[in-house]
Amino acid sequence: MEFVAILMGSKSDYPVMEECINVLKKFDVPYEIVISSAHRSPNRTKEYVKNAEEKGAKVFIAAAGMAAHLAGAVASMTAKPVIGVPLKGGVLDGLDSLLSTVQMPSGMPVATLALGKTGAVNSAYLAMQILALSNTELGEKLKEDRVMKAKNVELDSSEIEVIL
Ligand code: RP5
């Protein structure tokens, strides 16, 4: 079975990453989520990535804060697409995790998204867009979602707009 594999560096990351799994649930996309750290449990991370790939993971999402090497570490272990979600926290409030996640050396990409909740939500959408390359039904659902979003903009505007 194809699924999205989500790793996060700590239990403290879960409240933000719940935003990601809520989106995947809304679209009925199968996922796994585990806590595994690039620094605290490197062996567990390596084992998880290997097993997940064997079981059918098509895309990985890795979320971490501070010296956030998790996405980069996952990218070193698989040739599947890796999406990185830098998380806020610590005295630098996320700038550290953003730079740690985004600044990968050439040939080892991590698709790094926005900090925090926005990145968590977008990680689910980007993972689904990748799956939709070979899943027409999911692709149609994503198109319908875009139509709804455009309608909502019009609805929101209609409540407050002033046009002369
Ligand atoms: C990172 O360090 C984790 O991803 C988390 O964002 C941050 C702090 O972890 P805890 O000390 O809260 O476990 O590895």
40 is annotated as contributing to ligand binding:
yes
Q: What is the pLDDT of residue 80?
A: 98
41 is annotated as contributing to ligand binding:
no
Q: What is the pLDDT of residue 28?
A: 98
| Ligand 1 atom closest to residue 63's alpha carbon, by position in its atom list | 4
Q: What is the pLDDT of residue 131?
A: 98
Alpha helices in 3-135 (DSSP H): 14-26, 42-55, 70-77, 95-102, 116-132
Q: What is the pLDDT of residue 30?
A: 98
Which residues, in sequence order, are CB contacts of 101 under 8 Å at separation 6+? 64, 68, 71, 72, 84, 85, 86, 110, 112
Amino acid (one-letter) located at 13: D
Q: What is the pLDDT of residue 102?
A: 98
Q: What is the pLDDT of residue 42?
A: 98
- For ligand 1, the distance from its centroid to the CA atom of residue 77, given in whole angstroms, is 21
Q: What is the pLDDT of residue 141?
A: 98
Helix (H) or strand (E) holding 151, with range, is helix 136-160
Pairing of strands 3-8, 82-87: unpaired
* Ligand 1 atom 2 nearest Cα: 65
Going 115 to 22 to 45 to 1, the CA torsion angle's sign is negative
| Ligand 1 atom closest to residue 89's alpha carbon, by position in its atom list | 6
- For ligand 1, the distance from its centroid to the CA atom of residue 32, given in whole angstroms, is 20
Q: What is the pLDDT of residue 50?
A: 98
Q: What is the pLDDT of residue 44?
A: 98
Amino acid (one-letter) located at 100: S
Residues in the chain with pLDDT values less than 50: none
Ligand 1 pocket: which of 6, 8, 11, 13 to mutate (most atoms within 8 A of CB):
13
Q: What is the pLDDT of residue 159?
A: 98
CA dist., res. 52 & res. 45, Å (int)? 10
CA dist., res. 84 & res. 76, Å (int)? 13
10 is annotated as contributing to ligand binding:
yes
Ligand 1 first shell, C-beta below 6 A: 9-10, 12-13, 37, 64-66, 87, 89
CA dist., res. 54 & res. 94, Å (int)? 33
CB-CB contact of 114 with 122 (8 Å): yes
Q: What is the pLDDT of residue 69?
A: 98
Q: What is the pLDDT of residue 66?
A: 98
